[in-house]
């Protein structure tokens, strides 16, 4: 099953729902950044959350989700586009911590305490930024807290990544349910009860459940009208040309220094792990074009 995202409204517009299957893109992120299991889960949950939070973006809007905790994995940064493209990285991909329980990765311990920041760049002069203190570092609870505190939307958030014994990503997905102002107590209680009974999202995805079925299970069979279904994928906008521009922006002196000291320039893209190498001759050409 390819990765995709669905968006819908339910119970006569008493709630909004977003759900996504992200197994392939989280596996791609794992491969690109060589993340170990707990880092794969932390980055995978954040990539999924970025896509779900960005599901309402339009045109060239961008949403950046940053989790800045004091735990061993360091910062996690994810950027999602309206087109369903997402990219992201985790500062320390090689982290290994003891699991609190069999089959559960200690994401909260790996992330630690700190803050979550959401920046929405919608082409206006000032991008919107909201932040909240991390609730647990488990990402899902932190995003729910952000939606409540910063956007005043009571929400349920479930995110999950399942990693195989050989460290590959076997399943990944997530769901966000946002209660709208006219939501009744009954609907709220029904959804809370259904979510409590629901198995972890990662295990539902690993059983081959579709995003639509996960939504149905999460809302306990309440009527949902799906408004959109769209593919999502890992994609970084970096290119040789862009990296060349960044090098050029360093200026003549700095590039000459690199030429003298290293004879070539190696630039790693943080977001996708791609390595760009420029030979001494290419660097000289960049200087000539300045
Ligand atoms: Zn890149």
Confidence class for position 285, pLDDT limits 50, 70, 90: very high
Position 103 scores a pLDDT of 77
State in Å: Cα 261 to ligand 1 middle.
25
Q: 116-129 burial string, b = 16+ CB within 10 Å, else e?
A: bbbebbeeeeeeee
Which residues are within 8 A (CB) of 173 and not within 5 positions of it... i.e. 6 or more apart? Answer: 19, 20, 21, 22, 23, 48, 159, 160, 201, 202, 204, 205, 211, 214
State in Å: Cα 24 to ligand 1 middle.
18
Position 290 scores a pLDDT of 84
Enter the pTM of the model. Answer: 0.94
Position 259 scores a pLDDT of 87
State in Å: Cα 56 to ligand 1 middle.
24
Share above pLDDT 90 across residues of the chain, in percent, rounded to a whole number: 89
Give the mean pLDDT of the chain: 95
- Residue 150: alpha-carbon gap to chain centroid: 18
User: What's the pLDDT tens digit per position in 82-139?
Assistant: 999 999 999 999 999 988 787 789 999 999 999 999 999 988 878 889 999 999 999 9
137: left (phi over 0), alpha (psi -120 to 50) or beta: left
State in Å: Cα 277 to ligand 1 middle.
13
Ligand 1 is an ion; its neighbours by CB within 5 Å are 236, 238, 269, 271-272, 274
User: What's the pLDDT tens digit per position in 136-178?
Assistant: 999 999 999 999 999 999 999 999 999 998 999 999 999 999 9
Task: Give the domain ranges of the chain.
Answer: 4-234, 240-289
Mean pLDDT, rounded, for 254-268: 90
Position 98 scores a pLDDT of 87
The domain covering 4-234 belongs, at the CATH homologous superfamily level, to: Hsp33 domain (3.55.30.10)
| 240-289 maps to CATH 3.90.1280.10 | yes
User: What's the pLDDT tens digit per position in 210-239?
Assistant: 999 999 999 999 999 999 999 999 999 999
Phi/psi at 262 (nearest 5 deg)? -125, -10
Say which residue the tokens 């919608």 belong to: 122
Radius of gyration, alpha carbons of the chain: 21
Position 122 scores a pLDDT of 86
Q: How many degrees, rounded to 5, is the angle at CA 1 between CA 230 and CA 110?
A: 85
């Amino acid at each position: 099953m390819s990765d995709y995202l669905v968006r819908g409204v339910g119970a006569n517009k008493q709630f909004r729902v977003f759900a996504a299957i992200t197994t392939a893109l989280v596996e791609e992120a794992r491969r690109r950044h060589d993340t170990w299991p707990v880092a794969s889960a932390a980055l995978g949950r954040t990539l999924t959350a970025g896509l779900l939070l960005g599901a309402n973006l339009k045109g060239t809007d961008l949403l950046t989700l940053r989790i800045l905790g004091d735990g061993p994995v360091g910062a996690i940064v994810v950027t999602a586009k309206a087109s369903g493209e997402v990219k992201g990285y985790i500062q320390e991909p090689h982290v290994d911590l003891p699991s609190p329980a069999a089959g559960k990765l200690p994401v909260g311990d790996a992330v630690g305490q700190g803050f979550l920041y959401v920046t929405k760049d919608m082409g206006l002069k000032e991008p919107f930024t909201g932040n909240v203190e991390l609730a647990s570092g488990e990402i899902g609870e932190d995003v729910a807290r952000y939606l409540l505190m910063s956007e005043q939307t009571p929400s349920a958030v479930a995110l999950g990544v399942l990693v195989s014994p050989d460290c590959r990503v076997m399943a990944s997905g997530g769901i966000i349910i946002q209660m709208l102002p006219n939501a009744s107590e009954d609907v709220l209680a029904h959804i809370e009860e259904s979510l409590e009974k629901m198995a972890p999202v990662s295990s539902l995805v690993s059983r081959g459940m579709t995003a639509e079925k996960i939504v149905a299970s999460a809302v306990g069979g309440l009527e949902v009208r799906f408004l959109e279904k769209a593919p999502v994928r890992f994609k970084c906008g970096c290119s040789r040309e862009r990296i060349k521009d960044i090098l050029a922006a360093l200026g003549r002196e700095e590039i000459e220094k690199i030429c003298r000291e290293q004879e070539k320039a190696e630039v790693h893209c943080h977001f996708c792990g791609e390595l760009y190498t420029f030979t001494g001759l290419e660097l000289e050409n960049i200087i000539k074009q300045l």
